[in-house]
Amino acid sequence: MAKSAVAVVRAGRYEAAELRPQVERALALLGGVEKFVPRGARVFVKVNLLPPPSPPERGIITHPTFAEAVLSLLRELTPHITVGDDVHEARSFEVGGYREVCQRLGVELLNLRDRGFEEVSLNGGVLKRVYIAKAVREAEVIVNLPKLKTHALTTFTGAIKNFYGVIPTGLRTALHGEHPSPAEFAEVLVDIFSVVRPALTVMDGIVAMEGAGPANGTPRPLGLILASADAVAVDAVAQAIIGLDPLRVWTTHHAHRRGLGVGDLREIAILGESLETVRAKDFRLPPAAGEMMGRIPPRITRWATRHLQAQPVVVPARCVACGACVRACPTGAAQFRGKKAWIDRKKCIRCMCCHEACRYDAIALHLDLWGRFFRAAERWVYRDRRR
């Protein structure tokens, strides 16, 4: 018997008049928005706004028109809504289209650092304490609006990883440095998720990102909205749609194992479209560890991690010396050499913060010979799922 339900609804484009009924349909399949958001509740809505500022058409951020469709529904239930993310520059809200949307709907738009963070104790897989944005802690209901994207370190970013944005930037950078392997870093993400549980997740899969996500991949139209009370199940279904085995994606694997949601497709009821009709053929995954990591015995994980994780390399012809990679790097590996960025391989822990920060596609991801071999083996092993 299914333990969780995920609604999957088609949505053609980011057009406000068309999107609202499609979001309503997704939520109606789950019993209606009122089931998750009580009238008059204080609601925090977490969108995905990756710094530096990005316009919505690049496919990096949760699209503001998509967010507006969800927010307009919530606004009918409560006036106490805060939309937020932690961004380096407040300009992200203008460039991303959020300032305009929130003004139009009369809801608060907050850079999480402006209200501060509070310490939270937990008995996590890795973390024993963490700092969470006060605005998130004070909310009665959390609504999660992630973007469906690939991720160079974690393979996939969606509902669980969206909450990495509710901790302070400095801590985000430090945790990357302290827990560099994809498996361990996913534990960190699941630890944070375990203390910020959303009542409702509605995923923007209308234009997803494939390839070298989360910032330098290619927008890929999927035309889908996914919704559920179970954020883990939303990730699992999204992963299945793009050709991944959910339980071999570390975040889903850890969250399922720890009982924070359902990552096993056999225990998820998919409502609306069937999985078979929405599968994205030939969806390009990032040149990173991927599913094979789940098959590697723990004793050789460290060795394998070195080879299966891509190495960031600066493409000098594209580098405009903006310095974003240098500021994002937790170890000092990304530096300037003359007028271009350069990466010191000895110091690099392959956390991909520089790749995520660069908006000029000037940091390429390279796999060594072993990495390319494993990647080819992975494609062969999982060829039956990539129809």
* Site residues (vs ligand SF4, CB under 6 A): 312, 314, 319-325, 328-329, 331, 333-334, 341, 343, 348-354, 357-358, 360, 362-363
CB 354, min distance to ligand SF4, A: 3
Residue number with CB closer to ligand SF4 (105 or 321): 321
Residue number with CB closer to ligand SF4 (87 or 341): 341
Residue number with CB closer to ligand SF4 (222 or 308): 308
Residue number with CB closer to ligand SF4 (6 or 314): 314
CB 365, min distance to ligand SF4, A: 9
Residue number with CB closer to ligand SF4 (226 or 289): 289
CB 179, min distance to ligand SF4, A: 12
Nearest to 351, CA basis, from 88, 93, 164: 164
CB atoms inside a 10 Å sphere around CB 95: 17
Residue number with CB closer to ligand SF4 (60 or 357): 357
Residue number with CB closer to ligand SF4 (242 or 319): 319
Residue number with CB closer to ligand SF4 (148 or 329): 329
CB 359, min distance to ligand SF4, A: 7
CB 220, min distance to ligand SF4, A: 23
CB 172, min distance to ligand SF4, A: 12
| Contact partners, residue 287, CB within 8 Å, separation at least 6 | 152, 212, 310, 365, 366, 367, 371, 375
CB 344, min distance to ligand SF4, A: 8
Residue number with CB closer to ligand SF4 (175 or 319): 319
CB 333, min distance to ligand SF4, A: 4
CB 371, min distance to ligand SF4, A: 15
Question: How deeply is 283 buried, as exposed, middle or buried, from its count of CB atoms within 10 A (0-12, 13-18, 19+)?
Answer: middle
Nearest to 239, CA basis, from 208, 196, 271, 207: 208
Residues making up the chain, counted from first to last: 387
